Structure 1
Amino acid sequence: MSTISKFKKLAGFSAFAFAAMTAANSVNAANWRYAHEEYEGDVQDVFAYDFKEYIEDNSDHTVQVYRFGELGESDDIMGQTQSGILNFVNQSPGFTGSLIPEAQIFFIPYLMPTDMDTVIEFFRESEAINKMFPKLYAEHGLELLQMYPEGEMVVTADEPITSPSDFNNKKIRVMTNPLLSETYDAFGATPTPLPWGEVYGALQTNMIQGQENPIFWIESGGLYEVSPHLTFTAHGWFTTAMMANKNFYDGLSDEDQKLIQDAADYAFEEIIVHIDGLADEALEKIKAASDEVTVTRLNDEQIEAFKARAPQVEDKFIEMTGESGKELLNQFEEDLKEVQND
């Protein structure tokens, strides 16, 4: 056989092998479904698309992302994930807290620092987040893939807030989260649980007089239009979590599990870059869009008045969660002490 004939034969085998491999890959490829709680371009959406990008660049799998409202409210997408209709969900502990009470720890006011560098290091290094939380989520059929911060919490209201007495007789919207209700009760307000879809209208009609969210969400949701007085209380950061249906995840090959973990890690690193400066940018957009907006940043003395009310929320957290909550809180405080002393 000539060299050319051999080459043609080998090329034929190679083409056949490539076609067979491609066919096998297309059979094994999957379209994974991922839902989150925010709008196009918001933090959870950016995270989801970073995750999707990594998966699709490094495998034959595809990821379909669903934004807020496309499959219902937060409770709906969690139910769909637990039942296996969705493969992945991004949901904040504000809603997951009713399912996993310990996740409400993020709503103990003044537990978390507010400077970004410390917050990021905490999420990277915390034993509570990286070792204890995955076990808690697993008990509810969820594989916790990543917890990450979105931004400092800001209160909006119908007038500036500078002291707990300013919250008197005000209904403040909270997520459907018992501990967050306890926080605003401690602050002197009347906590009013509402799903996100009803918040704008409730503010507009004065059914409620305020709410809390990170500043980018206040801007993208237009909340400043109907609740123009923004107060930076320094009481915490909005945290969220990305997770998978555990049965789905456990049924994957080691290779696909690693792919998903790597994609979640990649999205975390990308989102940290994305949120740097995001709050300042959103605040500038709000100020440019409305002359009615006021911005109040509490001074140390004003913060102390709110801080003094935090212990009752911590006590309530331990009452709700028992020994597991107490252990988690102790570890949380140890982890925070370590990153703050670095």
Structure 2
Amino acid sequence: MSLPKSFIIALFSTFALFLAGCSQDTSTPAAGSGSTWLYAHEEFEGDVQDVFAHEFKNYIEANSNHQVRIYRFGELGESDDIMEQTQAGILQFVNQSPGFTGSLIPEAQIFFIPYLLPVEDEQIVEFFRTSVAINEMFGDLYAEQGLKLLTMYPEGEMVVTADTPVRSPEDFRGKNIRTMTNPLLAETYRAFGATPTPLPWGEVYGALQTNIIQGQENPIFWIQSGGLYEVSPNLIFTGHGQFTTAMMANQEFFQGLPESDRQLIREAAEHAFNYITDYVPGLGDRMLEKILQSSERVTVTRLTEEERQPFRAAAVQVEDRFVDMTGERGKALLDQFKADLRNVRSN
């Protein structure tokens, strides 16, 4: 008899956290001593979230007696697992995309309204640095879920991979496209003409390989590091969005720290943000070059502005659906997003 995958992941996560807890003290330290803080993210070694986490860790450890232990994808379960562990106070820090947080914080799905965010490196970095919506409004939404939002940052343009090249909504028809467990992202691919198919990340490669799904979306670095191009070789640059992620702390843990440690954590998050927003621009081009060197099967389709128009037109219904799902609070957030974007573009 084989055990269910969910049971195995939960058992492994519990055992790993038990071992971590046996040797670590995450309580408020006495003067002059330090604690070990646990930090989990959703990506593999060397990926963007891992780079960010290590910059955060390095800053903390260089400026205090505290230590940070980092857990990568799968080591403590899937995205939902590490969020639950953070909310429960088992983990002190978590890095998670609004794609997964959307079921917990519906307003976070705003990042999945297609053609809302720019894909140009300079514009997107400036937006995240200066956005009132991100830097002032989102904090309260996360706090309601027991989370202290420390920063949000972009990881790169979203690129679709599929079993055939795609240039129009008609080309998407009949394709099952994997989405994160995010209602608005499902609405996006439904509007684009595809059949959205929510799947946890651990099942995506096999589902592409066996044709259960015919495509998925991710930034190029993740397509490269996860080997998705091997089983989904047609890359389509639709220009519809940026992959965004958020770094958070357990709110009770954060508020229970002395002000000196809270300030240290804020500074470490700012340091990591500054590092990663220099690191990410150009990363997609470098990873695309690696993909093309690795496989002769890969095709690259970049939609022209004319080809994007039907997708842009379909995006209107996704925006309307976001407002329906989130009400006045979501509408206020969307209005501020657009004001922030106008400021970036005018500069």
Q: TM-score, normalised by structure 1?
A: 0.92
State the alpha-carbon separation in 2 of the partners of residues 336 and 277 from structure 1: 22
- The equivalent of 2:112 in structure 1 is 107
- 1:218 aligned onto 2:227: no
Q: Which one-letter code corresponds to 1:25 in the other structure? A: G
Cα shift at 1:24: 4.4
Question: Match for 1:229 among 221, 234, 251?
Answer: 234
Aligned length: 319
2:250 to 245, 250, 269: 245
**Alignment correspondent of 1:173:** 178
Structure 2 Cα separation of the partners of residues 310 and 171 of structure 1: 19
Matches within 5 A, 1:45-64: 45-64=50-69
Q: After the TM superposition, which parts of structure 1 deviate over 3 Å for at least 4 consecutive aligned residues?
A: none
Whether 1:285 and 2:285 are equivalent positions in the alignment is: no
What are the within-5 Å matches in structure 2 for residues 5-24 of structure 1?
A: 24=31
Letter in 1 for 2:306: E
Partner of 1:325: 330
**Is 1:39 the counterpart of 2:53 in the alignment?**
no
Does structure 1 residue 87 correspond to structure 2 residue 92? Answer: yes
Alpha-carbon deviations, 1:172-196, whole Å to 9, x = none?
Answer: 0000000000000000000000000
Q: 1:276 deviation in Å? A: 1.9
State whether structure 2 residue 150 is matched by structure 1 residue 145. Answer: yes
In the TM superposition, what is the alpha-carbon distance from 1:273 to its structure 2 partner? 1.5
For residues 321 and 300 of structure 1, the distance between their equivalents in structure 2, rounded to whole angstroms, comes to: 30
Identify the residue that residue 14 of structure 1 maps to in structure 2. Answer: none
Distance 1:81 1:203 in 2: 31
Aligned amino acid, residue 32 of structure 2: N
Aligned residue for 1:263?
A: 268
Segments of 5+ residues of structure 1 without an aligned counterpart are 1-22
Q: In the alignment, what sits opposite 2:198? A: 193
Partner Cα distance (1:204, 1:73) in 2:
21
Structure 2 Cα separation of the partners of residues 136 and 50 of structure 1:
26
Partner in structure 2 of residue 66 of structure 1: 71
Amino acid at match of 2:146: G
Following superposition, the deviation at residue 313 of structure 1 comes to: 0.2
Letter of the 2:340 counterpart:
D
- SS of match in other structure, 2:32: helix
Residue number in structure 2 paired with 1:6? none
- 1:272 positional shift: 1.1
CA distance, structure 1, for counterparts of residue 345 and residue 139 of structure 2: 24
Q: Which residue of 2 aligns with 1:116?
A: 121
State the match for 2:318 in structure 1.
313
1:340 to 323, 334, 345: 345
Q: Partner of 1:72: helix, strand, or coil?
A: coil
Counterpart code for 1:106: F
Q: Distance in 1 between matches of 2:341 and 2:46?
A: 30
* In 2, Cα distance between equivalents of 1:66 and 1:316: 35
What does residue 298 of structure 1 align with? Answer: 303
Partner SS for 2:165: coil
1:142 is displaced (CA, Å) by 0.4
CA RMSD of aligned residues (A): 1.0
SS in 2 for 1:280: helix
Structure with max Cα Rg? 1
- Write out per-residue CA displacement over residues 245-297 of structure 1, whole angstroms, 9 at most, x where no aligned residue: 00000000000000000000000011011112110100000000000000000
Match of 2:178, SS?
strand
What is the alpha-carbon distance in structure 1 between the residues aligned to residue 272 and residue 118 of structure 2?
A: 23
CA distance in 2, matches of 1:92, 1:171: 22
User: Which residue of the partner structure matches residue 12 of structure 2?
Assistant: none
Distance 2:215 2:179 in 1: 9
Report the alpha carbon displacement of residue 135 of structure 1 after superposing the two structures with TM.
0.8
Structure 1 residue 25 and structure 2 residue 32: aligned?
A: yes
SS in 2 for 1:308: helix
